[in-house]
Structure 1
Amino acid sequence: MKIILLCLISACLAQAAHSICSYSTLTQDDRDSITNAHNNYRSILAKGQANLPNGQFAPPAANMYKVSYDCDLENIAQNYAEKCVFQHSSAGERDGAGENLFMSTGNIGNAAALQQSADAWWGELEQYGIAGFASNDTTFQSNMSSVGHFTQMAWANSTKIGCGVQWCPNNPMTIVVCNYKDAGNYINSPIYQVGNACASDSECTSVPQSTCDTSAGLCSSNYVPPCADNSPAYACNQWQAAGYCANTSPYYPYVAQQECRKTCASC
């Protein structure tokens, strides 16, 4: 009998191009497959067609962006997958990236493993549901661990993904590791913005220079923000001295990824 297990955690990393995706055995078709799986599911959610257990649907999403593939994230994911340990990596190992894990006891190959992982992670929504969705509340809460893989896939601010796959014959299992930037699943933060799927470029407002894929109801942008601090220098220097720039700090998402990107050397 084949056994499938899942696991997840939160955190964040930097962008890279397909051209340096040279570490793992994944093919470009594999990378496109897992990227498309995420975007297909995000499109279903944006259009208000994501199933809940009671036959109803999750609230539709405005400002939902496509994910794109990131080779730095892939390299980290593949390095960890090759350890053949089905437990989460440390925050330092993944430089603060979000992390979803999947395991099957069969040697099912990369393509099947990637598709099954995406289907299993997203399937948590229909299997378990989210109570707040009935009132259009998409706030992530500490009691949502049963749907944590889904929420990471649906997290609106997670727009980069990179994955690794490894067959582990000594402890027979195929492991999938997917890392996300920016990390999701922060308590009391919104999973996504409730609203209508985009129908024009003007409705994609989260990132400058955005466009709307009207057929998918998803936004996209190639905009790269300047490497700068949003908070005053004295504040960033104090936070850096206090250790808030470290990816193990609970303040890392706010300080290093948002307010003090230049001081924390996170851009």
Structure 2
Amino acid sequence: MRDLYLKYHNDARSRLAKGKVRDLNRRLGPAKNIYKLSWSCELEKIAKELAQGCGYDFTRHRSYGQNRETFYGSYGVTTFDVKKHIKQALDKWWGKVKNSYVHRDNKYDPSLFEFSNMAHYKNTELGCAHVICADPSFSKLQVLCVYKRLGYMSNSIMWRNGKYCRVNSDCTIFPNSRCEDGLCVRPKEQADSGASQICGSNGVMTDAVRNDFLDMHNFYRSVVATGRAVDKIDKRAPKAAAMPKLKYSCELEQSATYHAGFCQFSHSQGNNVGENLYIVYTPGFDKRVIAEMVRCTLPSILL
């Protein structure tokens, strides 16, 4: 079943990248930097947990995208055609786009709730599960998929129009990505061990998160320096000369941690350093996903 979930998603994302998907009004795409999804056993475990009871509680694990579909049978029924219902759920979620109008800038719209999770170009992992639940009146089968990135965020861009990837260097979202059938493939991410040795433990940061922040900054600086940064009309920006590589500063981390503790979306006063701010209102948000979102504070020319 894992192969069914994964193949459906990636085939659909490949069609979107190549401009072969339509909404009610027009053909969408083509799109650049759409990433191929890989299977996450961790997200599968979360999907199984969320599906227990076949309810619709979206208050748990809110930092991940969630798609749910419930099918009903007669009381006492314990067997469902699971494969058929999974396909029906996936068709329904992806099919939302055929009955909607996508904004010209490809921004999320509530009518595209499930579709946005499936299509979001920066999503790289998913995990799905199905559960059969007994009920006093009828039996239920719930199909549930969990996505590493939220697609349904207000004003978020589901994808960027442009040329889909042909060569590895066309993939400019994550370092060391490669191109495969119009989709970009992100290298497998190492798990966060929780170690904090670079700057010692401050109760918030780990070395994995520090390296995520640093690697993403230096990767995007490399994209600019080598002339691979592309604007919204697919025009390459000029190369940059003598752009230095960043290194991690524990002193600046301490300053950032102190100011972030006030939870105010404003710059600190009097410390004479540059600051980029980003805020989310979801409790328990995955810190490594937040680190990846550093790109949201960078110019759209890099996206």
* TM-score over 0.5 (shorter chain): yes
Task: Give matches, 1:142-181, under 5 Å.
Answer: 144-170=109-135, 171-181=138-148
C-alpha RMSD of matched pairs (Å): 2.9
Structure 2 match to 1:26: none
Structure 1 match to 2:23: 52
Instruction: Say which structure, 1 or 2, has more relative contact order (CA 8 Å, 6+ apart).
Output: 1
SS in 2 for 1:172: strand
Task: Give matches, 1:82-161, under 5 Å.
Answer: 82-85=52-55, 87-90=56-59, 93-94=60-61, 96-106=63-73, 108-130=80-102, 132-133=103-104, 137-140=105-108, 144-161=109-126
Aligned partners of 1:236 and 1:34: how far apart in 2? 40
Aligned partners of 2:133 and 2:3: how far apart in 1? 24
8 Å CA contact 2:97–2:115 kept in 1: the answer is yes
Structure 2 match to 1:233: 254
Could you say if the C-alpha distance between residues 169 and 43 of structure 1 is closer, same or farther in structure 2, counting changes exceeding 3 Å?
same
SS in 2 for 1:48: coil
TM-score (norm 2): 0.64
Aligned partners of 1:160 and 1:36: how far apart in 2? 13
Gaps of 5+ in 2: 74-78, 191-207, 215-251, 266-278, 294-303
Structure 1 match to 2:14: 43
Measured after TM superposition, the shift of residue 116 of structure 1 is 1.6
SS in 2 for 1:236: helix
| Residue identity opposite 1:153 in structure 2 | M
Aligned partners of 1:197 and 1:240: how far apart in 2? 41
Structure 1 match to 2:41: 71
Aligned partners of 2:282 and 2:62: how far apart in 1? 13
SS in 1 for 2:144: strand
| Residue identity opposite 1:45 in structure 2 | L
8 Å CA contact 2:110–2:152 kept in 1: the answer is no
8 Å CA contact 1:63–1:219 kept in 2: the answer is yes
Deviations 1:55-76 (A, max 9, x none): x311211000101111111111
How many residues were matched structurally? 217
Could you say if the C-alpha distance between residues 122 and 46 of structure 1 is closer, same or farther in structure 2, counting changes exceeding 3 Å?
same
Structure 1 match to 2:5: 34
Deviations 1:83-133 (A, max 9, x none): 221x1331xx32621111112224533322322211110000012232x23
1:257 has 2:289 as partner? yes
TM-score (norm 1): 0.72
Aligned partners of 2:14 and 2:261: how far apart in 1? 39
Measured after TM superposition, the shift of residue 252 of structure 1 is 6.8
| Residue identity opposite 1:34 in structure 2 | Y
Measured after TM superposition, the shift of residue 174 of structure 1 is 1.3
| Residue identity opposite 2:125 in structure 1 | K
SS in 2 for 1:39: helix
SS in 2 for 1:152: helix
The share of aligned pairs that are identical, in percent, is 28
8 Å CA contact 2:47–2:145 kept in 1: the answer is yes
